[in-house]
A = this chain, B = another copy of it.
């Protein structure tokens, strides 16, 4: 379908047209990118620029981060262009000259990308993506590149804490309704799965990303029936394939007793109940009582799922208490990364036309030049230390930034999502023990090389003001 909403005029307003999720055109950017690009084009400032994406500091509640979103960035770069609707709008807006709009019309990404693999553990000051492209291209993509990398990294890093807090439990993303829009819901499902979640309740995540989807029933289903028992039986008989019954609409333990009665009734028809869901109250206490009722009723194989306000702290408490819960549905705290919904990240110019560049803004100074990150591990594979240095300063460690695109084309097949997920699991397994804990303040050693420090000092001297 065309994005009709964009066809409506330079001024107001398409508020009355059908709301459409935005087309993936290059217009999806901050206005200043377009302003700057017009100047670059007019002044023929089209030499190669090197931009790097990195995080300045960890949120107070993180020991490490998980890189995510690269697949969407690469897809964006491969397909990035202004749509016809967008070009028409730009013309009508009167904000840009005809030469700029002609250049916009043919603009494609023809640059290089080097990046850390999705699922990699990383730390502040370490670039996870480096773009080398003619300055106008590298500038114009800034907003969407940050938008895509930032969000999935936020979610994967949050999800990883949950995975570490609940070993052996199935964690399922329930977050679409409170995600910040549709795209957030879909990409959160992806990032959580990448970090080790078992799946999601968000249906199109199966179609888009091949992620396992899970669904139970809502309280409204129970309420709409004349009785809870009638609701349970209706659901079981209509959808005998995978029956998960929600227990807490009225009284959790009484509902568990209904489940036992129903299971006996269904047995003669060969229908089995798969699981039950608890969604309120003291989850550990309810789980114990429900487990007892189910076991006594011969339903030892019925799984108990829990949901409702779960975060990594709750997972840790419930795991420590050995609550008999097999899986968790996790919504809000995951999908908004409620304790750290944002990262202090940037996409900064590090080199232009072969000259290293540095920003000196107070509290936001950057390391100049085209960089590489090396990692060293112990014999057991456990991460020991990282080094951020210039790309030209070759070391014998593991180089984390690898070529992904050259001249606008992929040079490597990106790992499938399941492979990225396996890589994330391996990375979490190789974290130093202290960093795997939920409590924070464990600092992983990331060194800045002497070469890089020397280049920064040289830049400071040479900056012409």
Contact = CB atoms under 8 A, between A and B. Distances in A.
A457 to B, nearest CB: 15
A220 B18 contact: no
B18 A78 contact: yes
A347 to B, nearest CB: 8
A358 B338 CA distance: 29
Given A22-B182, A39-B239, A89-B207, A176 B229 contact: no
A57 interface: no
Contact of A147 (B3, B144, B181, B238): B181
Contacts of A214: 31
A16 B412 CA distance: 12
A127 to B, nearest CB: 15
Interface stretch (A246-254, A290-298, A378-386, A431-439): A246-254
B362 A203 contact: no
A7 to B, nearest CB: 9
A279 B364 CA distance: 10
Contacts of A464: 226-228
A1 B21 CA distance: 12
Interface string A160-182: 00000000000000101111111
A22 B362 contact: no
A227 to B, nearest CB: 4
**Identical subunits present:** 2
Contact of A207 (B8, B21, B42): B8
A465 interface: yes
Contact of A338 (B204, B342, B416): B342
Contacts of A234: 39, 43
A374 interface: no
A238 B43 CA distance: 8
Given A36-B218, A180-B180, A250-B463, A23 B24 contact: no
B215 A31 contact: yes
B174 A150 contact: no
Interface in A367-402: none
A30 B202 contact: yes
A359 B249 contact: yes
A176 to B, nearest CB: 6
A23 B11 CA distance: 25
28 contacts: A1-B23, A6-B207, A10-B206, A14-B209, A16-B75, A18-B79, A19-B24, A19-B76, A28-B182, A29-B176, A31-B201, A31-B202, A33-B218, A36-B235, A38-B239, A39-B234, A40-B224, A43-B234, A139-B220, A142-B218, A147-B179, A147-B185, A180-B187, A181-B183, A250-B360, A250-B463, A281-B361, A337-B341
